[in-house]
């Protein structure tokens, strides 16, 4: 018995006892068949450590998959090595695709096929895209919601018919709304309750009321969702962003988040994927404090990576306060525990949602809203988030945007670039208005989405003096330089006191690759001194910038500037 099979059996016993062992036995036979069908392997199982991830909505980025194929060379030239496709599966699109109607098909309108295309043609179209991406060295991961489905999913369509329907138990039902009272309301100001009336009962949901939560107490749910993951493994994807995994298991009298059996479910998924094809990425989407997210790494037997949600606001706080401490404090082991060797944080400045303020203190939330909520309509969840693009938050200042990128690209973790941020895309008010009218919700997150007008972008990028071109040149230089240095993806972090609180400084080191990073968080010129390193004689830094001496071994740091300086290893 392999270690993965042993894990699968143990997880199953913990969740369901011995009552459903026949169901598990049949599933293990399926896994053996899937394993035998695999003709390829992952050469570098920890490829995600060196990745630069580019996150996009296919339709908003360039219409459909044929349009995305046209832009693959652009993305490769930018320096991306992995594409994170935001929801692409079949959906009624009430929540930009996070409400999944069918898990084994891509939305038809994304495939660029004529109406009435067969299932075989649809499958072939997506595989063609994967082949085109892989031929350019671009890996592909995508979102899959494991906690909930769309109300239009066939399981829920059956479940709502009657209490006696066999699919009724695929979801969570109650005669009252008194159950799970300690589960927090995730969508404050958008949903008044976690329960929704349907017939003479209520069903439970942690997100929108059209996204009913799955009932993992029913083993058929775990097997059904596992088959969905296996299907896409067979199609050739490189991994999954496991959406909303902290919520998959519920128990009354708890907050219904991060419960032990939620981890058991994740372990089951990981063991299943590793058994069939080791090296596929499982990325934890868990907006939780770092010490809770770390739990989703397990003993290197749950997710390979997780988002460092609290680091993002701390980057913005440090930049607004001109003080290195908020970032340093967040990465201290008291706040961010050490993680297993094979695991990785994923870091980001912006994403498809708001600049979340869930993981900050009340004082920090007030500080962030005072500095970055530049328009009242950007507010999200009654002040727990700010819906704005990176360029808007930093007031279209290429220096500040470049500084933010420098911080993200050099701190520990795998960086994520949100589509359009590399050329200073701003909030899309027209798209917000369009979606508000379409779904009936004034969800401010629609400001940070919207369709790219490539004719307009290419015109702006052809002008070296345009704002878009300046941001793009900075981003490309930073990304390409990062990729040349394994210290950034795999190296250790050593903080450096550069003699001024405005200077965020550290050394990243991996074997013979050692880089000193200096970043001036302030709007004034500052002198940085790094003890023991004669940085004033460094000439140009790794980014091609002059390293200007400031006396006594110091480096003159212009406002909102960064210097990446090669160091000799000991």
Active-site residue set: 243, 285
Cα(123)–Cα(59) distance, integer angstroms = 18
**141 contacts 83 by C-beta, under 8 angstroms:** yes
Q: Which runs of consecutive H residues, i.e. helices, occur in 466-537? A: 467-483, 486-490
Sorted by sequence, the CB contacts under 8 Å of residue 26 that are 6+ apart come out as none
- What pairing do the DSSP bridges indicate for beta strands 239-243 and 385-386? unpaired
Q: How crowded is residue 265: how many other Cβ atoms within 10 Å of its Cβ?
A: 24
Helix (H, G, I), strand (E, B) or coil at 520: strand
What does the DSSP 8-state code read for residue 168?
Answer: G
Nearest Cα to Cα of residue 212 among 156, 267, 274, 288: 156
Task: Please report the DSSP string for 1-37 in residue order.
Answer: --HHHHHHHHHHHHHHTTTTHHHHHHHHHHHHHHHHH
Give CA–CA dist 386/384, Å, rounded. Answer: 7
End-to-end Cα, the chain, rounded Å: 46
Decide: 457 and 419 in contact? Cβ < 8 Å. no
Q: Which residues contact 38 (CB under 8 A, 6 or more apart)?
A: 276, 277
287 with 356: CB under 8 angstroms?
A: yes
What is the rounded CA–CA span in Å between residue 134 and residue 98?
25
- Longest CA–CA separation in the chain, Å: 81
Strand partners, 341: none
> What is the token pair recorded at 167?
């699919």
Beta bridge partners of 196: 203
The answer to whether the CB of 537 falls within 8 A of the CB of 340 is: no
Q: CA–CA distance from 369 to each of 105, 109, 375, 432, 460 (Å)?
A: 40, 38, 10, 21, 31
Bridge partner list, 380: 385
CB 171 within 8 A of CB 224: no
Judge contact between 186 and 232, C-beta under 8 A: no
CB of 515 within 8 A of CB of 485? yes
| Per-residue burial over 429-468, b = 16 or more CB atoms within 10 Å of its CB, e = otherwise | eebbeebeeebebebbbbbbbbebebeebeebbeeeeebb
């Amino acid at each position: 018995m392999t270690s993965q099979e042993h894990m699968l059996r143990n997880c199953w016993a913990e969740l369901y006892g011995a009552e459903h062992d026949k169901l598990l036995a049949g599933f293990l036979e399926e896994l053996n068949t899937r394993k035998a069908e695999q003709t390829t392997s992952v050469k570098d199982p920890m490829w995600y450590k060196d990745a630069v991830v580019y996150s996009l909505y296919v339709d908003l980025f360039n219409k459909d998959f044929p349009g995305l194929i046209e832009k693959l060379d652009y993305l490769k030239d930018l320096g991306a090595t992995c594409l994170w496709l935001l929801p692409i599966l079949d959906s009624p699109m009430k929540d930009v695709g996070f409400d999944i109607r069918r898990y084994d098909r891509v939305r038809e309108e994304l495939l660029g096929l004529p109406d009435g295309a067969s299932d075989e043609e649809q499958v072939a179209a997506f595989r063609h895209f994967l082949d085109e991406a892989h031929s350019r060295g671009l890996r592909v991961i995508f979102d899959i919601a494991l906690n909930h489905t769309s109300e239009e999913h066939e399981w829920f369509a059956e479940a709502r018919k009657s209490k006696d329907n066999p699919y009724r138990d695929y979801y969570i039902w109650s005669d009252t709304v008194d159950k799970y009272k300690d589960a927090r309301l995730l969508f404050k100001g958008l949903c008044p309750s976690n329960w929704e009336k349907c017939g003479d009962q209520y069903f439970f949901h942690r997100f929108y009321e059209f996204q009913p939560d799955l009932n993992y107490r029913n083993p058929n749910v775990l097997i059904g969702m596992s088959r969905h993951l296996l299907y896409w493994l067979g199609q050739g994807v490189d991994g999954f962003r496991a959406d909303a995994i902290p919520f998959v298991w519920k128990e009354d009298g708890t907050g219904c988040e991060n419960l032990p059996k939620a981890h058991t479910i994740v372990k089951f998924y990981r063991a299943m994927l590793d058994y069939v094809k080791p090296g596929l990425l499982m990325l934890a989407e868990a907006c939780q404090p770092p010490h809770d997210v770390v739990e989703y790494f397990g003993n290197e037997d749950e997710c390979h990576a997780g988002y460092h949600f609290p680091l993002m606001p701390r980057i913005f706080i440090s930049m607004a306060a001109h003080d290195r401490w908020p970032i340093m404090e967040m990465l201290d082991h008291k706040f961010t525990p050490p993680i297993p060797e094979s695991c990785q944080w994923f870091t980001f400045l912006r994403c498809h949602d708001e600049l979340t303020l869930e993981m900050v203190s009340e004082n920090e939330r007030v500080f962030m809203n005072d500095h970055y909520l530049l328009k009242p309509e950007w507010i999200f969840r009654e002040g727990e988030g700010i819906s704005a693009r990176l360029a808007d938050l930093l007031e279209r200042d290429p220096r500040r945007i470049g500084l933010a990128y420098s911080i993200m690209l050099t701190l520990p973790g795998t960086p994520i670039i949100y589509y359009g941020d590399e050329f200073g895309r701003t909030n899309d008010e027209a798209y917000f208005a369009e979606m508000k009218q379409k779904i009936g919700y004034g969800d401010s997150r629609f400001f940070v989405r919207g369709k790219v007008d490539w004719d307009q972008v290419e015109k702006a990028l052809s002008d070296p003096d345009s704002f878009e071109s300046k941001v793009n040149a900075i981003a490309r230089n930073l990304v390409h330089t990062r990729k040349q240095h394994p210290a950034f993806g795999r190296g250790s972090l050593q903080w450096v006191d550069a003699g001024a609180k405005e200077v965020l400084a550290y050394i990243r080191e991996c074997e013979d690759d050692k880089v000193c990073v200096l970043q001036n968080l302030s709007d004034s010129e500052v002198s940085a001194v790094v003890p023991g390193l004669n940085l004033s004689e460094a000439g140009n830094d790794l980014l091609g910038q002059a390293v200007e001496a400031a006396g006594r071994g110091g480096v003159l740091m212009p406002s909102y500037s960064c210097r990446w300086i090669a160091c000799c290893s000991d």
